Structure 1
């Protein structure tokens, strides 16, 4: 059995590649607090931010995604205000 059997991918459209890149660079700074329980990878596909999560339990996966979404909301609101 895999060490991280639970996974999901979240794709967030930004409308233009520049905004996706800014979001990616902003969000990659924050490391996962439970790095031994969850792995998050962030990439860009054209104007989309693609975030992959793998975790050792569904609870850890949910908590990680929720924390990421809080940060994503802050980044998108900042981009709307200044970009």
Structure 2
């Protein structure tokens, strides 16, 4: 079964959680595609289990939106991930325009 993990680093736990909640509302169109959202720490992405356990109680380190996809065919996986990327682009654009701490200060 084809699968793909997409990790999107954001600047804060609040932004990662907000993006996750915004994207979760749209169900997958095909019952043959599975999607799972989580917000994880960078340590988990890099595989540092000891650091992950140390920071487990502190959600502020969880700044990466992780989306895990699996589908019955490569084509279904590609279509699902492409749709996700389009939705993610819209969510990030709205966050950039409406939130004060999405992008680092420009001087």
The alpha-carbon deviation at position 71 of structure 1 amounts to 0.3
**Among candidates 17, 22, 38, match of residue 43 of structure 1:** 38
Gaps of 5+ in 1: none
> As a proportion of its length, which structure holds more strand?
1
**Among candidates 3, 9, 17, match of residue 5 of structure 2:** 9
CA RMSD, 1 decimal: 0.5
Give the match's secondary structure for 2:69. Answer: strand
Partner of 2:79 in structure 1? Answer: 63
Gaps of 5+ in 2: 41-61, 100-107
Runs of 4 or more consecutive aligned structure 1 residues displaced over 3 Å after TM superposition: none
2: CA distance, partners of 1:15 / 1:30: 24
The alpha-carbon deviation at position 72 of structure 1 amounts to 0.1
TM-score normalized by the length of structure 2: 0.72
> As a proportion of its length, which structure holds more helix?
2
